[in-house]
Amino acid sequence: MSLKKFFSPKSVCIIGASRNKRKIGHVILKNFTETFRGRIYPVNPKAKKILGLKCYHSLEKIKGKIDLAVIALPAEIVPYVLEECGEKGIKNCIVVSSGFKEIGNVKLEKEMKKIIKKYNIRLIGPNGLGIYDPYSGVDTIFNPKYKLGRPEKGNMGLISQSGAVLCISLDWMSMRGYIISKAISYGNATDVDIPELMEYLDRDKETKVMCLYMEGLKNGRKFFKTAKKIKKPIIALKGGKTEGGKKSAKTHTGAMAGKAEIYSGAFRQTKIMETDDLEQMFDLARALSNQPLPEGNRLRIITDAGGFGVLTSDWAEKFGLKITKVSEKSKRKLRKLIPAHATLSNLIDLTGDVTSEMYEACYQDAVQDKSIDMIALILLFQPPLINEDVVDKILKLSGKKTTAILSAGGDYTEKLKQKLEKGGLPCFSSPKRCIEVLSTMYRYSKK
């Protein structure tokens, strides 16, 4: 648990804290003042106070113990600062500065590595954004919150070699109402590497599933050995699969990307699910973090839009799922509430006359039906007789059987989808994405 103080420190110093609102050191300090409950020590030799906090000219002027140092200074100064951290007894450092091996400055990075080894310092970075932990309030993301949203507390962990990928993901997740446990951008991985971070998230009680964006590995054998031991679901997106991508990865994080076929083959031999893009990765993560795994591939489709039901049925067959027929027992029970023109056969089509009570009855029947393994609930909110209370009715029944929501529309729909997401039900806008997730969950359950 040597990484624990990165995520749950009682005290932190921001070295390079600035009064200039446009500087990285100012943004990081502001983040901590807004979310962190422990002691905060800004370090800047030219300031007495920043954001109402006493500012220290150097680390030696700080009397209290420091669990974590965040360094936001030019690359050439970083080794000297790390030396000071070592002398002060600080054992955990995050370096957000860039300008090391990713631009060919290998000598400077080696010097830094020599210092952290001398003082037994654990280091995340350099050339990364560090950590966002909504539970502890640690936030070293140097993009202002009005430009980049932060997701609320959840159970989905994200590890990214790229700071930009992490930023885009957090902002997008915040907008969509997705929730997160921890997010880490580790950059050049001079010290702490991806296998260690995976092991930490595997033990982390707030994390149920982890997402990885990676460009290359220092030690492939260590990575895959670790992946085999991880108990939680792992979803990976590999960058640098093409020749152009490999060259970009080398100048981006100094990573040797390696052959895509080797990575894909190794992913298949472990429990890692490989995806092609970020959207697909988060689709899977949201479902796996909250929904139970299906025991089989028997699917019930419930809809209030015939066309969406047909398209969903097409994709279900393409992905190898079996659409279950509505039993005679269920028909007799549901007909007491559902009008005669509604369809109860291979799928349930409640038509445009749908009400919240109809959805509740049909979903409850599917949850209780032992001949069904998973449910695709096509919930379009536009029909006139359906009310917002349908969301609460559905959420009360969720968590007992694998469910994915298919819902598309404008602002009104997106608002209700966010409530479903926060309640643990993954929502999708297209039949393909919805069914692809259910199919992948089924294949994962067989492993």
Q: How far apart are CA 30 and CA 17, in angstroms?
A: 9
Residue pair 431/312 in contact (Cβ under 8 Å)? The answer is yes
Q: How far apart are CA 40 and CA 149, in angstroms?
A: 23
366 sits in which H/E element = helix 356-368
How many other C-beta atoms can be found within 10 angstroms of the C-beta atom of residue 174? 17
Query: Strand, helix or coil at 180?
Result: strand
4-288 belongs to CATH 3.40.50.261: yes
- At the top level of CATH, the class of 293-446 is alpha beta
What are the backbone dihedrals phi and psi of residue 171, each rounded to the nearest 5 degrees, phi first? -65, -45
Q: How far apart are CA 44 and CA 185, in angstroms?
A: 25
Of 47, 40, 51, 33, nearest in space to 13 by CA: 40
Residue pair 424/398 in contact (Cβ under 8 Å)? The answer is yes
One pLDDT digit (tens) per residue for the chain, 447 residues: 589 999 999 999 999 999 999 999 999 999 999 999 999 999 999 999 999 999 999 999 999 899 999 999 999 999 999 999 999 999 999 999 999 988 888 999 999 999 999 999 999 999 999 999 999 999 999 999 999 999 999 999 999 999 999 999 999 999 988 999 999 999 999 999 999 999 999 999 999 999 999 888 888 889 999 999 999 999 999 987 655 544 554 444 554 445 778 888 888 888 899 998 899 999 999 999 999 999 999 999 999 998 999 999 999 999 999 999 999 999 999 999 988 898 998 899 999 899 999 999 999 999 999 999 999 999 999 999 999 999 999 999 999 999 999 999 999 999 999 999 989 999 999 999 999 999 999 999 987
Stretch(es) of the chain classified as CATH 3.40.50.261: 4-288, 293-446
Residue pair 30/72 in contact (Cβ under 8 Å)? The answer is no
